[in-house]
Every structure is written in structure tokens, then in C-alpha cells.
Amino acid sequence: MMRKHEIPGERALPELCDACGAVILSGLPLYAYVPDSSAVQAGKEWLDGLRFIAACCEEHLNALRDQYRRRPFIEEELWAGKISRALDQHPDGLTAEELGRATGLMLPDIRSAMAWHNRWMHQETQP
């Protein structure tokens, strides 16, 4: 017999499957961290390069894992994300030295990341 689903936790938003978008029922979600060079969050520096995924079932969790396994992990993309986060946190700007301290990156890495970002932006704006 089907029972009416209760929203878990106090005022918690229902979680959605990252594969199919279905609302994940209480007690069922499957979670994983997958490598993703585009994953950079403010205040969660220790999770840089890891994306948190939620799925409604084993099949969708595996599909998501496969999807991220096939996505190329690009160091420069990760570094560009760290730079972007640091610049967001310092709207008045940073010197190259301060940017290095804020991101933990060496100057050559910062240059590579900016070059990668510029190439990527150029591709994005192509018709």
C-alpha cells in the first residue's frame, strides 16, 4: 500500500535526482562525490574538484558517475574556478601575489588558468 510521502526534516526542500529530476523520496536518496574540474564552491575549498551528486536510484547514480567519469578533468578549469572565487571574495581586486595566496596557486598556474579561461570564453562567444 502506498503511503503519503512526508517531507523529511524541518522545512527541508525536497531533493531532486541529478539524472532525471524526480523528487527523491525520504530514505531513498543515493549520494556520491565525483571528480569534476568545474566544481568550485565558496567556503568549501576542501571540496574543490569534487561535485556532490544525488540520485533517485542505483541506476541513475551509476549513470551520473559514468557521465562525470567521461568528462575530461581539466586542471586549468579548476584553477580558473579558484581564481574566480577569490576575485568574487575581493571585489576591489587582488595583486598577483595576493591572488596566489588566496588560491594557493603559483603564478605560472594562474597564467595557464587565465589563458584557458580566455580560450573557453572565446569558444563560448563563437556563433
- Residues binding Zn ion (CB under 5 A): 17, 19-20, 22, 56, 60
Helix (H, G, I), strand (E, B) or coil at 43: coil
Closest CB to Zn ion among 22 and 102? Answer: 22
Which residue lies nearer to Zn ion by CB, 56 or 105?
56
- We find the least distance from the C-beta atom of residue 28 to Zn ion, in angstroms, to be 10
Shortest Å, Cβ 19 to Zn ion: 4
CB nearer Zn ion, residue 56 or residue 86: 56
As a three-state string, the secondary structure of 62-119 is HHHHHHHHHCCCCHHHHHHHHHHHHHHHCCCCCCHHHHHHHHCCCHHHHHHHHHHHHH
DSSP 47: G
Q: Which residue number places its CB atom closest to Zn ion? A: 17
- Residue 51 and residue 38: Cα distance in Å, rounded? 8
Between residues 28 and 96, which has the closer beta carbon with respect to Zn ion? 28
- Work out how close the CB of 1 gets to Zn ion at its nearest, in angstroms, rounded to a whole number: 24
- SS3 state at 29: coil
Min dist. Cβ of residue 21 to Zn ion (A): 7
Give me 69's grid cell: 567519469
